[in-house]
Structure 1
Amino acid sequence: MRAVVFEDYQTFPALTDVEAPEPGPGEVLLKVAGAGACHSDVSVYHTFEKGSPGAQKPPFVLGHENSGWVERVGTGVSERIKIGAAYLVYGPIGCQHCRQCVQGKDTYCENAATMPYQAVGLGRDGGMAEYVTVLAHHLVPLGDADPVSAAPLADAGLTPYHAIKRALPHLQGGGRYALAIGLGGLGQIGVQILRALTGATIIATDLRADAREQAEANGAVTVPDGDDQVEQILEKTHGRGIDAAFDFVGAGSTIATAAGAMAQGGALSVVGIGSGTHEFSFFTNPYESYVTNTYWGTVSELWEVVDMYRAGQIRPQVERYGMEQALEAYRRLEAGEVNGRAVVVPGQG
């Protein structure tokens, strides 16, 4: 079968032929409907070096945002998993035995350091292929919803949902303000989630004018980049500041922007893995405000994300590419030319 393979560190992936996988005990073989191309993939093959934090040992098939139809099942799989039915895949894979994993929090597995891989498509063969094997209990049914458009929800939907859900206490009540920095795949869906779950005024910012326009169409008020960006954000809050900020970039400059606009008692969630740092000072930090980080989300939260998708509350913007155009999708992603999420559709010519 055709697949996009990460072959070596700091090396662009290859589109090549690999052997089709077979489902083991407790696993399901999916015929891939869609696989999202994520900036995390770019970090895997472009940024990470052998032995560095986050590095996953090559070779393996990329693709950690996956949807598909059940083709075959391995031994021990429940009859509730239906052949031919469409499912979204929860990507993270923990040890399945620690206190975090038994709660569906595979991303925070206590034994992650001893695991041979991090997730489907991150160390273990992923869905940027015609077929992929996944754990049966990591499947979320899609019903009659479009599985191709649903594919990015496995990360670009789940990751902002988890961060926003944790911050909801800061957005309860009237006159609250939320800030979304970075309006790529995660940020655009994050704006939609904030609109659906809160009554807060949503302020959004990005370097690209077209990204800001899209966020405005989803109910946000926006500010452009610039030296007075923090002042513009504070003006939108009438000087009060932001109650909950979500930095979907994670660079030093974006963290500084969010931190500079925080209200007393506010929460800043750094969601993007941009390697930025934050300097704390008692005299400049708004009282009782804090900076935290989140990573992906839980299995049960992915069920909730799918509920929102099926209810029409989340509408991922996707660009579809056939398998033979998969490498072009990554090239465009690296160049910042993708609006929303690039999704590789193996069945598309």
Structure 2
Amino acid sequence: MRALQYRTIGAAPEIVEIETPEPGPGEVRIRVTAAGACHSDSFIMGLNEEQYIYGLPLTLGHEGAGIVDKLGEGVTGVEVGEAVAVYGPQGCGRCVQCAQGKENYCERAAELGIRPPGLGAPGAMAEYLVVPDARFLLPLGDLDPVEHVALTDAGLTPYHAIKMSLPKLVPGTTAVVIGAGGLGHVAIQLLRALSPATVVALDVSQDKLRLATEVGAHHVFPSDAEAAERVKELTGGRGAAAVFDFVAIQPTIDAGHAMLAVEGDQVLVGVGAGAVPAGLLAAPYDSTVRAPYWGSRAELFEVFELARAGLVKIETERFSLDEAPEAYRRLHEGTLRGRAVVVP
């Protein structure tokens, strides 16, 4: 089969011909119908040799959807021909977190060497994908795989981040989304669907700010040195009840901290990192800083229901498997309007 693989540290991913995988006992093979490209992929391909821990060659793609093609011995719960989406943050299935469907927070995944598809295990940027357990396959039903595959990360990740802050997003409050790209434009829709808060979007790109307005942001501002002051002015000095940072580099972390309200949530969703001032005199009273990761299986069911209700839609650009390296080039350059979806 053909697949998109990251094969050499620092080089672009390549289309290669590899052996079609066969499902072992308990495993399920799907014929891939759609795979999403994500900034996480770009991030790991930007790591140097010392930092890179994901194995080579690596078939990319942690957002996947397909048709069940072949069942391994003993598999129940899915049928050949069923349209499914792949739940990415896979865990051991036996710890306390996994028992709650929170496999994104599996207590034993690192110890057991369990990696998500495309982030250590073979991913969905290929004609076929073997999934280790049927529980990682959620029925797509009538949802178009190309239009909705990115919900498995670009929908689930902001949904999980926002859901934990909903008690603070009461009428009269403001929520800020920093970075209105692949995940951020979905976060704006989720905030509009799930809360009465005023939604403000910040980005360095005018195209992304236009997209933010189209998907429901009440206000959009450039993400610059004046952004925090603009949010403070808009809120009468109170600040934002929640700031969802889909960039999470030091300048955006500093801006989010500066615009946070008393009891506000600063939620760092992006794959960047930085320092946040902490302590009674260094931050707004009773404010919190969180760094959530992906989301639970149950939450992915909920995201699919929001899509079926027409409350969330992902802006997508479609690429063939041959065009997948170009999709990643544009992702790295920041010229994609929403999410890139590869159709093998």
For 2:54 and 2:96, the matched residues in 1 are separated by 24
Of all paired residues, the percent bearing the same amino acid is 46
Q: State yes or no: 1:176 paired with 2:173.
A: yes
The Cα of 1:317 is off from its aligned counterpart by 0.5
The Cα of 1:157 is off from its aligned counterpart by 0.6
The Cα of 1:48 is off from its aligned counterpart by 4.8
What is the letter of the counterpart of residue 183 of structure 1? A
Equivalent runs, 1:12-31 vs 2, <5 Å: 12-31=12-31
- Partner of 2:190, secondary structure, is helix
TM normalised by structure 2 equals 0.96
Q: For 1:201, which of 165, 173, 198 is the aligned residue?
A: 198
The one-character-per-residue Cα deviations of 1:310-338 (angstroms, maximum 9, x if unpaired) are 11111100100001111111111111111
The Cα of 1:160 is off from its aligned counterpart by 0.4
- Taking structure 1 as reference, are residues 222 and 251 closer, same or farther at Cα in structure 2, changes over 3 Å only? same
What is the letter of the counterpart of residue 249 of structure 2? A
Correspondence for 1:300: 298
What is the letter of the counterpart of residue 114 of structure 1? E
What is the letter of the counterpart of residue 255 of structure 2? T
Correspondence for 2:103: 106
- Given that 2:277 and 2:283 are in contact with CA atoms closer than 8 Å, whether structure 1 keeps it comes out as no
What is the letter of the counterpart of residue 287 of structure 2? S
What is the letter of the counterpart of residue 142 of structure 2? D
Correspondence for 1:249: 247
- Partner of 1:119, secondary structure, is coil
For 1:262 and 1:8, the matched residues in 2 are separated by 42
- Given that 1:256 and 1:278 are in contact with CA atoms closer than 8 Å, whether structure 2 keeps it comes out as yes
Structure 1 range deviating more: 257-266 or 234-243: 234-243
Equivalent runs, 1:94-243 vs 2, <5 Å: 94-134=91-131, 135-171=133-169, 173-220=170-217, 221-243=219-241
Q: State yes or no: 1:70 paired with 2:90.
A: no
TM normalised by structure 1 equals 0.94
Q: State yes or no: 1:8 paired with 2:5.
A: no
For 1:250 and 1:333, the matched residues in 2 are separated by 17
Aligned length: 342
Question: What is the CA RMSD across the aligned residues, in angstroms?
Answer: 1.4
Q: State yes or no: 1:88 paired with 2:101.
A: no
What is the letter of the counterpart of residue 197 of structure 2? A
The one-character-per-residue Cα deviations of 1:23-77 (angstroms, maximum 9, x if unpaired) are 2222211111111111111122222534x3x731222211000111111111222
Correspondence for 1:266: 264
What is the letter of the counterpart of residue 6 of structure 2? F
Correspondence for 1:327: 325
- Given that 1:251 and 1:277 are in contact with CA atoms closer than 8 Å, whether structure 2 keeps it comes out as no
- Given that 1:32 and 1:127 are in contact with CA atoms closer than 8 Å, whether structure 2 keeps it comes out as yes
The Cα of 1:212 is off from its aligned counterpart by 0.8
Specify every segment of 5 or more residues in structure 2 that has no aligned partner in the other structure, as ranges.
Answer: none
